[in-house]
Amino acid sequence: MAALDGALQIDPAKCTGCKQCELACSWVQTGTFQPSRSLIRVHVFDEQASYAPYACPQCSEAWCMQACPVNAIDVDQQTGAKVVLDEACIGCKLCVIACPFGTIFYDKQTDRAAKCDLCAGDPACAHACPTGAIAVAGVDPGDWLVSFGESVDSAYRKAVNGEGAR
């Protein structure tokens, strides 16, 4: 397996299963709290005292990208994240089938594929995590909300008014 680059660094041993990451992720995308549309997921295995947060590892083979028939998945030149281009995506789900990690999702509300894009390099999930179980190298833990305000408000208007759905 090739080296991973520019991905979330997840330490399951620090996870408490609180799902603040799922809440933050859905908030960034929709301005609402909707874990079912989060692109990071936490699986809780109680009797084994084990928590498994997982999100796209941004693998270099990027089978999702190779499988896409309309070139709707591209590499963000700044972060290395593989990102879905909403305008190009036709909702065919070939990427979902191709991904060996199960970390690219089909969103039936938008009829498009959805995956972690590392929030342009400053992931909300990492900020929301109370135990430091999610990290990205080089990210400043300062007032990260500045960069989100406008995009979240527009996402929220879309969610409330139903804009953007096909």
Partner 1 sequence: MSEGRLGGWTGKLLRVDLTRQAIAVEDLNEAWARAYVGGRGVAARYLHAEVDPQVDPLAPENKLIFATGPLTGTNASCGARYMVVTKGPLTGAITTSNSGGRWGPELKFAGYDMIIFEGRSERPVYLWIFDDQVELRPAGHLWGKGVFETEDTLRAETGLPDCAIAAIGPAGENRVLFAAIVNEKFRAAGRSGVGAVMGSKNLKAIAVRGTGAVRVARPEAMMRAQWAMKRDLEAAPLTSEGLPQYGTLALMNVINEHGALPTNNFQLAQFDRAEKISGEELRATRLASNKACFACTIACGRVSRISDEGVGRYAVTTSVHNWKHATEGPEFENAWSLGADCGIDDLDAILKANTLCNDLGMDPISLGATIAAAMELYEKGVIDDSQTGMPLRFGSGEALIAMTERAAFREGFGDDLAEGSKRLADKYHQPDVFMGVKGQEFPAYDPRAIQGMGLGYATSNRGACHLRAYTVSAEIVGIPLQVDPRSVEGKAGLAIAFQNISTAVDATGLCLFLTFGTTLERIRPILAAATGIDLDDAELVRVGERIWNLERVWNMRAGFTAADDTLPKRMLEEAIPSGPAKGEVSRLPEMLPDYYRERGWSAAGEPSAEKLRELGIA
- Interface contacts to partner 1, rule CB under 8 A: 16-20, 23-24, 26-27, 30-37, 46-51, 127-128, 130-131, 145, 148-149, 152-153, 156, 159-160
**Residue number, 36 or 66, with CB nearest to partner 1:** 36
DSSP state for residue 55 in the 8-state scheme: -
- The tokens for 162 are 């139903």
**Residue number, 1 or 13, with CB nearest to partner 1:** 13
Rounded least distance, CB 136 to partner 1, Å: 18
Rounded least distance, CB 84 to partner 1, Å: 20
**Residue number, 38 or 58, with CB nearest to partner 1:** 38
Q: How far is CA 60 from the centre of its chain?
A: 17
Determine contact, residues 121/21, Cβ cutoff 8 Å. no
Determine contact, residues 44/18, Cβ cutoff 8 Å. no
Q: How far apart are CA 142 and CA 148, in angstroms?
A: 13
Determine contact, residues 166/158, Cβ cutoff 8 Å. no
Rounded least distance, CB 65 to partner 1, Å: 27
Q: How far apart are CA 88 and CA 65, in angstroms?
A: 13
**Residue number, 82 or 112, with CB nearest to partner 1:** 112
Rounded least distance, CB 79 to partner 1, Å: 22
